[in-house]
Amino acid sequence: MSVVSSAVLANSGIKFGTSGARGLVEQFTNEACAAFTCAFVAVMRQSFVFDRVAIGIDRRPSSPAMAAACAGALQQLGLEVDYYGILPTPALALKSMADGIPSIMITGSHIPFDRNGIKFYRPDGEIEKADELAILAVEAEVPAVEPCLPEASDAAVAFYRSRNLDMFPAGLLAGKRIGLYEHSAAGRDICRDVLEQLGATVVSLGRTETFVPIDTEAVSAEDQQRGREWAAEHQLDALFSTDGDGDRPLLGDETGTWLRGDILGLLCARYLGIQALAVPVSCNSAIEASGAFARVMRTRIGSPYVIEGMQQLAGEFAGVAGFEANGGFLLGTDIQVNGASVRALPTRDALLPALVLLAISVAENKPISAVLAELPARYTGSDRIQEFPTEKSQALIAGWREDVAGLLAFLGMSAEVVDVNNTDGLRLTLDNGEVVHLRPSGNAPELRCYAESASAEAASQLVTFVLGKLASLR
């Protein structure tokens, strides 16, 4: 037996980031997974009554063993396990919330292959920051665990499929050729199924059983080139992909150019008739410039902060949503879409915003690029320096907050700063209209840079320039 907080969690090296507990694969021992599970259940039992917990996984090779350890711990606690196997995170969350039970998703999302993670869901949605602290503080014994997994059910995938199909008319995408960049995404099969059910001709691209860590905020040069080549070779109307666990979309237009996630979120929210939005400070200012929303609340980066903002807005507005720069769309209230009642899903979802933009393209009889051209001309670029120690990037940003002029001098930039935003990291608005935003990643040892400018090329060049200067500080 071990004490959860002092003997296991505190010494595991595993940290809570902006999207669950993350760490190296070797840190997620059977004991560590069991300790997290026991602590999570203890916290949930303070507010909810339940007799079972749902579990799902992504395609990382380490995920089944972690899930088996969690399931073994749940059984030792006298709880049944609803095991759904490999599926998108939003599918697991949707089903467990409908059933009124907690759930555990084993996924490292987009972080490097040598890492993995655990996402925890309350019966009413993602755990909150207060829940994270409570989990780490639980004093409870971890039972000896015999890892095991029940047979996987397809009920959660079927429920998620129905939700997306019910929103749109049959044959919506008839005549459309959509390239599905499948890689190792947990939701690649359900995405293909939904697109084909809506009438699209789906071209399978890049399918592999080797895990690929796709980051929708920092699309690799290789994937950018692939997108253009695929679109031309297969005469596509669109490209679609997701990150590893299916909660962050990657959508490309008919030229194979990948869209920014916050622009996709803006178009989705407008189509759904959303009145109020909660979005991170890093999102594109075209959101406000579009004039489509009664209220836009800016938050710290990370779905817990977006959810907190949505909860505040729900007291004032009937239609509330949120999204992140990575494209994950969160629906904060129940809404009506094309005559169908759509249940709130206050966690990131990749499939809904992609389907919405395809529906807009069909309704307006325009290619996706033409739909985008009608938005305010504000463009965002982003990338990151990998293997940049988090403590170092935090210390640098703390120093630059006190010496913005020193940062600009180091970067060799002559522009004047007209606004400084410290909501999350350091975001500088310059007198030439450009924006530079620096922030340590909450999930991995990476220093991220976001930039905004009047053209996509200028935004990309600004990111490359800034990161090129900062790389010497690693």
Q: How far apart are the first and last CA of the chain?
A: 41
- The single residue of 62, 109, 184, 303 carrying the catalytic annotation is 109
Specify the amino acid at residue 399: G
Rg over CA atoms, the chain: 22
Distances (CA, A) of 438 to 126, 339, 381, 407, 424: 26, 43, 12, 11, 9
Instruction: Name the CA dihedral angle for 58, 447, 121, 69, rounded to a multiple of 10 degrees.
Output: 50
Angle between helices 351-364 and 188-197 (to 10 degrees): 30
- Phi (first) and psi of residue 62, to 5 degrees: -80, -10
Q: Report the distance separating Cα 392 and Cα 277, nearest Å.
A: 33
Counting other chains too, the contacts that 97-101 makes at CB distance below 8 Å and 24 or more residues apart are 97/121, 97/123, 97/124, 97/125, 97/345, 98/159, 98/343, 99/54, 99/123, 100/48, 100/50, 101/50, 101/52, 101/53, 101/54
Distances (CA, A) of 9 to 190, 214, 380, 391, 424: 35, 28, 38, 20, 27
Contact (CB, 8 A) for 301 and 322: no
Q: Please indicate whether residue 109 is annotated as part of the active site.
A: yes
Sheet holding 201-205, edge to edge: 201-205, 177-181, 238-242, 249-252
Q: Report the distance separating Cα 117 and Cα 111, nearest Å.
A: 9
Q: Taking the alpha carbons of 81, 82, 84, 90 in that order, is the dihedral positive or negative?
A: negative
Instruction: Name the CA dihedral angle for 55, 59, 60, 63, rounded to a multiple of 10 degrees.
Output: 20
Q: Is 109 left (phi over 0), alpha (psi -120 to 50) or beta?
A: left
Q: Report the distance separating Cα 410 and Cα 407, nearest Å.
A: 5
Q: Report the distance separating Cα 27 and Cα 17, nearest Å.
A: 15
Distances (CA, A) of 114 to 34, 60, 110, 209, 265: 20, 10, 11, 16, 30
- Residues marked active site are found at 109
